[in-house]
Structure 1
Amino acid sequence: MRIFVTGASGWIGSAVIPELIAAGHTVEGLARSDASAAAVAASGARVRRGTLDDLESLRAGAAASDAVIHLAFKHDFSDYAGAGRTERAAVEAIGDTLAGTGRPFLLAAGVAGLAPGRVATERDASPAVGPDAPRGGGEQFAFEYVDRGVRAVSLRFAPSVHGDGDHGFLATLVRIAKENGVAGYVGDGANRWPAVNRQDVASMVALALEHAPAGTAVQGVAEEGIPTRDIAEGIGRALGVPTASIAPEHVDDHFGWIGRFFALDIAASSAITQELLGWTPTHPTLAEDLAAGYYTRG
């Protein structure tokens, strides 16, 4: 297949492209800069210049493809509502282009917020509905295109997609621990975060392209719920700093914007995904990647 990938040079996209090429697909990746274009080309994919705001480029990429994997998102926490509007416009541009074709449209989402306080499954509907919802309600909006002849599939990723080179949530927590001289967790640290290795999630995406039915969600989760105290202890060992509880009233001061996320209890399962796709995570765990020193170099 000819596959159009947004976020092609990003953390997940740069791992997904080699999986797709190895499976025999031709890939075209969206690139917003010269550096991104060079990275996409080096991965073996063709380059389409454009951004998420360039809806004509998205439409053209989708029209020229047999499938779209939409992984890009504006992670701008200073204007998260604006990022949501951008996401919804991108989903609409791609969905309208693919309408009536039966082609796959896979888009990135997350497991956070699905079912706080219990283990979320693929059967849990996203509570983010409507243009003002987080991420513009993109998952549910994309599923509206199923009735319009699009094989829409939601790729729900764990908040920690870890590995060598990660600059996401886990790397942010490590940086904060390094700056403060202590690896913190909130309260008793019993709240849980799911995690998955980047290489495992890349293989899941490739399998979902082949096998996930329209209107389904698959969950990129290898460890369904790591107590955040355990995560903090792993960071502390990696950095050689103590671990400590941070009182809820001091979370913003200690952690900044990520503190409220790190305080959530957002365990999630991938049992249905593993059975549906024949997918088994095999790569190192979060604790193993921390111990390997990927997050503490420099």
Structure 2
Amino acid sequence: MAIFLTGASGFIGSAVLRALRAQGREVVALVRDETKAQAVEATGARAVVGTLTDRELVEKLALESDGVIHTASPGDETSAAFDDAVVTAVFAGLEGSDKPYVHTGGIWVYGSSAEITERSPFDPPALTAWRVPIEERVLRASGVKTTIIAPAVVFGHGGGLPNVIAQAPRGSGVAPALQLIGSGEQHWTTVFVDDLAELYVLAFDLADGGSYYIGASGQNPTVRELGEAAAAAAGLDGRVEPISTAQVHEWLGEGLGDALLLDQQATGSAARIDLGWEPNGPTLVEELRSGSYAG
């Protein structure tokens, strides 16, 4: 049998797929179309064309699997109903098997905090408040070995949220500057996507049922540091300029804007201690200054 992976063509899921296939693991991925199926099959995995809203298909694939890793998300107003439906279908397939189910959460549910751990209270912005009841349901599940991974801001290979900074508006005039998200004083807790993928695999293999891990590398740069790196790469001599919260909302929308204004720091130490996770990828500052986002 194989591991059933959702979101295999997405930013996180494709990295998890690469990590699994690098170990020679058998993977079945549910994808939306033939183009995505071809990309999945090029890795040596098996692709099934369909949708995650097809409860019978998802339940069947879960039932036939060695366990499930769920990374897919529409990333819009349908996310809550989507995740709830996927969990319902997967649990129907895995119920009573004690097989592993790894669920994707997110760091923003903790709100602003200078020391986020797995024991920190939740204080989510409106954008991700929907995650909390679904995650409680996942952790309470019986007959399934559940784990939640809460990724920090994921970066690498030119993908993900850091493009908001790399492609931020530039001012005009004699000395243009890159626009920050707010004052730039807030910290982002970060993780390289390939390191995060390794954490998913470790959690699938080793984590106890009902466990929860923050996927953070321990690198917590300020948005100003990130902006200055991107501004250096853009030939602006590192010049940046802060903007108001109202301007952030106008640029990015209130939901995403408020999430990116959170001031968050985390180490991800529990995953190192419990699972032997060793994140060793580049830092986001390096990637913005001279790596995959520079140019």
Q: Same fold (TM over 0.5)?
A: yes
Spell out, residue by residue over 1:177-214, the C-alpha distance to the aligned partner (whole angstroms, 9 max, x if none): 35986423345422111111111111111111111111
For 2:113, the aligned partner's letter is G
Structure 2: segments with no counterpart, 5+ residues:
none
Supply the distance in 1 between the matched residues of 2:40 and 2:64 (Cα, whole angstroms): 18
Structure 1: segments with no counterpart, 5+ residues:
none
| TM-score, normalization by structure 2 | 0.89
Give the counterpart of 2:210 among 197, 211, 215.
215
Which residue does 1:63 correspond to in 2?
Answer: 63
Which residue does 1:152 correspond to in 2?
Answer: 146
Which residue does 2:164 correspond to in 1?
Answer: 172
Which residue does 2:185 correspond to in 1?
Answer: 190
Which residue does 2:271 correspond to in 1?
Answer: 273
Query: Is 1:85 equivalent to 2:81 in the alignment?
Result: yes
Spell out, residue by residue over 1:142-199, the C-alpha distance to the aligned partner (whole angstroms, 9 max, x if none): 1121xx211010011112x111141x21112322335986423345422111111111
Which residue does 1:119 correspond to in 2?
Answer: 115
Percent identity between matched residues is 32
Supply the distance in 2 between the matched residues of 1:134 and 1:111 (Cα, whole angstroms): 13
Supply the distance in 2 between the matched residues of 1:99 and 1:283 (Cα, whole angstroms): 36
Aligned residue pairs total 286
Q: Note closer, same or farther for the CA distance 1:138–1:126 as it changes in structure 2 (3 Å cut).
A: farther
Q: Note closer, same or farther for the CA distance 1:223–1:240 as it changes in structure 2 (3 Å cut).
A: farther
For 2:273, the aligned partner's letter is E
Flag as ranges the 4+ runs of structure 1 deviating above 4 A.
125-128, 178-181
**1:98 deviation in Å?**
0.9
**1:74 deviation in Å?**
0.7
Query: Is 1:101 equivalent to 2:87 in the alignment?
Result: no
Supply the distance in 1 between the matched residues of 2:263 and 2:11 (Cα, whole angstroms): 24
Spell out, residue by residue over 1:71-110, the C-alpha distance to the aligned partner (whole angstroms, 9 max, x if none): 001112xxx2x22111111111111221110000001111
Query: Is 1:232 equivalent to 2:230 in the alignment?
Result: no
| Farther-moved stretch of structure 1 (39-48 vs 254-263) | 254-263
Give the counterpart of 1:248 among 245, 249, 255.
245
Which residue does 2:15 correspond to in 1?
Answer: 15
C-alpha contact (below 8 Å) 1:84/1:137 kept by paired residues: no
| Farther-moved stretch of structure 1 (265-274 vs 181-190) | 181-190
**1:274 deviation in Å?**
0.8
C-alpha contact (below 8 Å) 1:4/1:28 kept by paired residues: yes
| TM-score, normalization by structure 1 | 0.88
Q: Note closer, same or farther for the CA distance 1:171–1:92 as it changes in structure 2 (3 Å cut).
A: same
